[in-house]
Chain A
């Protein structure tokens, strides 16, 4: 005789277990003091790592100068903005250097590939470096990188604000559902409706934002 299948206890629909709740702390990650502390520690580690990378980069450049001198000539002249940004950067930021370097390299690579295609001679390299337009292209590209770094936080803020609005709506819906389920007893003492960050009732806060 087959034993009856063990019944899974029915889940109480009234229970809102913690694991079922959407995570709320991630919404504003990085804005709290704790996040700032973590960032400082991370910056220290990054600085050390960055110094090691710079040394490796210099060794690479010297090696390049020995093995591929024409390329070295173009790179050493064209990548000066990147080198300057590495040297003057008090807070090593990988992405910042990457941005300037990539834009700068975009301007340099325009001349490197024809150099390699035309026999990779010192003469050609000197001719390129003696052309003012070559310098203009390479340095403008680096300037575009700097410009992008100025534009990046603006774009990030706009995108984050858009995402925050969506996140807030979602959490407000959860809060409304909680209030609907549990009533105004959930509110802190003295409050009769949910409040926003500055203590106004939610409805007023919504008006202000509007």
Chain B
């Protein structure tokens, strides 16, 4: 493609031409829409572009580890940039990621049924390639989290080289059937399955190999009710294999990969050893899933704490009756393998809140169930109402709730953040969910921010804290990809140019985004919120905030944003009583607004001091006016000759006249007598 036929808007990273008129739906993900693209430098390298949805966070850490260092068996990112496109979120700037394009098509076009792969084909073709790919990913600290029969491609037509689909554009595990997820993550909602670890990939590899071997996607059945319970009861391999045993070495591999105990599950290195003919044997500890004393719930008896937790979540009313009954604590004390103390259990289950929960308070009931689930299944997801998210999947789940505008889920998130609920769950999980310990600790540090509803904090702040690469989702800057404070100012400038933003530049998203980017503005945001009921002060706080932002991040004119302040500033200045001061200040401010110089307005315009001075001078002027009026009143009265003062003044005048007359008379007499003599 020549430069003549490619508009500058479609060029990404200075070398990739994106053709938005040619969508590639086979590469679409929940995080983005795929389009044809070409590499203008390496013309023969096939690539495609994925236009990222605004609200869906890209896995930035994964992109960072793969950009410039592609993995041979993986559809790797080659470049990235921002371009203007239209997607389901509307029209505007979007992040575009350029990926290697596998042109050989899917390995399994129809996962519902396909010719089964022979063990030899798997052993010689697919397994070595995937083991190598996963080994490289593990060495770089990447969990792919999107391994399934649908995600396998041939590199090129006629090639046997297999590549895994990209794993950057959507929340980890989102694209998986629950059957591809380890039990502790399978119960989570798709967007909340979490980053996971290479062990999750190895489990998914096992399910995929099983599927390839049996000629159908065994995890399709994962949607069926009760499959998770079956996996807990008989083990994932047996539940998904449908009681069809795999004999021989392949059976060892698949069973090793699908091991539910993460410590017993095979690693990529062990798969490589298996390819060399060695079968690893692992000594593992007890995970403590089995209950020392089974418990009857409903019409069944439970021997596994994970299954019991799932059953409780499915039957909340009965579960709460049982949990807050007289005998449960005593049972839990003896039945749970870790042997929790009665005090810990009482604190964890919050028996004082039980009464409220049974009164039908939805938030309290959700919390009571969440506590029970955290006590019984700490490795599993945090379960609160609609929210079922792993600790390391909290960020993407929250982002997806915002992206989809799912008010129900967002309300559950808000409810979870209230009254220290998340903090209480984190306390229960701390030390008990070793796989997600870091994520749990992170949530522990965030729950206070989440519970704080001030501007710059709250759920929106948590959204940006947990999804650091997420652009600002404020509707005010929808058309610009705002991934930093400089871009935020540019976005607001563009939005102001299109419509009247006025002075309402900061909504909760923008506040949270600013606070996330720099904690230097937290005080300014707090002041802004405190002034929200006082329009004029709010305007000046906004001005100060954006003046500081302009000074630090975008020292260029912001004429449109500044223009939004014109009317409000005029209203403020019009309150001055002095006409010349009004004019003087308006002229000065108007000139700065025309220059788009918020910095100087914010720095130099001290309206409070000016107003104080204006009022003081007005008092002086009023006082002078009163004295002037009194003087004028006196001058209004005409002077008469009977006025004592006029009499005195007249006498004085006439005294002068008389002296003059005397002098003239004397002079005349002297003159005449002199002439006579």
Contacts and interface: CB of A to CB of B under 8 A. Distances in A.
Interface of A: 12-18, 21, 24-25, 27-28, 30-32, 35-36, 39, 93-96, 98-103, 105-107, 109-110, 113-114, 117, 144-145, 148-149, 151-157, 160-161, 164, 167-168, 171-172, 174-175, 178-183, 185-186, 194-198, 205
A93 B621 contact: no
A25 B627 contact: yes
Contacts of B614: 14
A151 B632 contact: no
B662 A109 contact: yes
A15 to B, nearest CB: 6
B605 interface: no
Contacts, number: 196
A168 B662 contact: no
Contact of A31 (B634, B665, B670): B634
Given A28-B635, A197-B636, 8 more contacts: A13-B580, A24-B630, A100-B658, A106-B661, A156-B647, A157-B643, A161-B638, A186-B621
Contact of B658 (A21, A98, A168): A98
Interface string B635-673: 111111111111111111111011101101110011001
B583 to A, nearest CB: 10
Contacts of A16: 617, 620-621, 624
A30 B643 CA distance: 10
Nearest to A96: B651
A179 B577 CA distance: 10
Given A102-B659, A151-B650, A167-B635, A183 B628 contact: no
A182 B613 CA distance: 13
Contacts of B670: 113
Contact of B579 (A95, A109, A160, A180): A180
B637 A148 contact: no
A21 B628 CA distance: 10
Given A15-B617, A24-B628, A182-B577, A30 B635 contact: no
The A interface, classified by DSSP as helix, strand, loop or mixed, is: helix
A17 B649 CA distance: 34
Contact of A14 (B578, B639, B640, B644): B578
Query: Which 10 pairs from chain A and chain B are nearest by CB?
Result: A152-B650, A28-B634, A102-B658, A153-B650, A197-B636, A24-B631, A152-B654, A153-B641, A197-B633, A95-B651
B654 A95 contact: yes
A110 B661 CA distance: 12
B654 A99 contact: yes
A185 B618 contact: yes
Nearest to A14: B581
Contacts of B650: 149, 151-157
A151 B646 CA distance: 11
Contact of A186 (B581, B625, B630): B625
Contacts of A152: 647, 649-654
Contacts of A31: 634, 637, 643, 645
Give the interface residue-count category, chain B: 35 or more
B434 interface: no
Given A16-B621, A39-B644, A105-B662, A93 B639 contact: no
Most B-side CB within 10 Å, residue of A16, A24, A105: A24
A109 B670 CA distance: 10
A28 B636 CA distance: 10
Given A39-B644, A152-B651, A168-B635, A178 B580 contact: no
A109 to B, nearest CB: 5
Most A-side CB within 10 Å, residue of B581, B639, B659, B665: B639
Contacts of B651: 93, 95-96, 99, 149, 152-153
Given A95-B648, A167-B635, A183-B579, A102 B628 contact: no
Most A-side CB within 10 Å, residue of B584, B614, B669: B669
B644 to A, nearest CB: 7
28 contacts: A13-B584, A16-B620, A27-B632, A28-B635, A31-B637, A98-B655, A98-B659, A103-B662, A106-B662, A106-B665, A106-B666, A109-B669, A148-B657, A151-B650, A152-B647, A156-B641, A160-B649, A164-B638, A168-B632, A171-B631, A175-B629, A175-B632, A178-B621, A181-B580, A181-B621, A183-B579, A198-B636, A205-B636
A167 B584 CA distance: 32
A117 to B, nearest CB: 5
A136 to B, nearest CB: 15
A36 B621 CA distance: 29
Given A16-B617, A95-B654, A113-B670, A182 B579 contact: yes
B410 to A, nearest CB: 51
A35 B643 CA distance: 13
B86 interface: no
B504 interface: no
Nearest to A107: B665
Most A-side CB within 10 Å, residue of B620, B658, B669, B677: B658
B578 A182 contact: yes
A116 B639 CA distance: 47
Contact of B661 (A28, A103, A175): A103
Contacts of A181: 578-580, 621
A11 B635 CA distance: 33
A102 B640 CA distance: 26
A153 B662 contact: no
A144 B664 CA distance: 15
B635 A109 contact: no
Most A-side CB within 10 Å, residue of B578, B618, B645: B645
Given A99-B655, A154-B641, A25 B631 contact: yes
A119 to B, nearest CB: 12
B94 to A, nearest CB: 52
B625 A171 contact: no
A168 B649 contact: no
Nearest to A27: B631
Contacts of A105: 662
B624 A185 contact: no
B421 to A, nearest CB: 56
A161 B658 contact: no
Contacts of B647: 152-153, 156
B8 interface: no
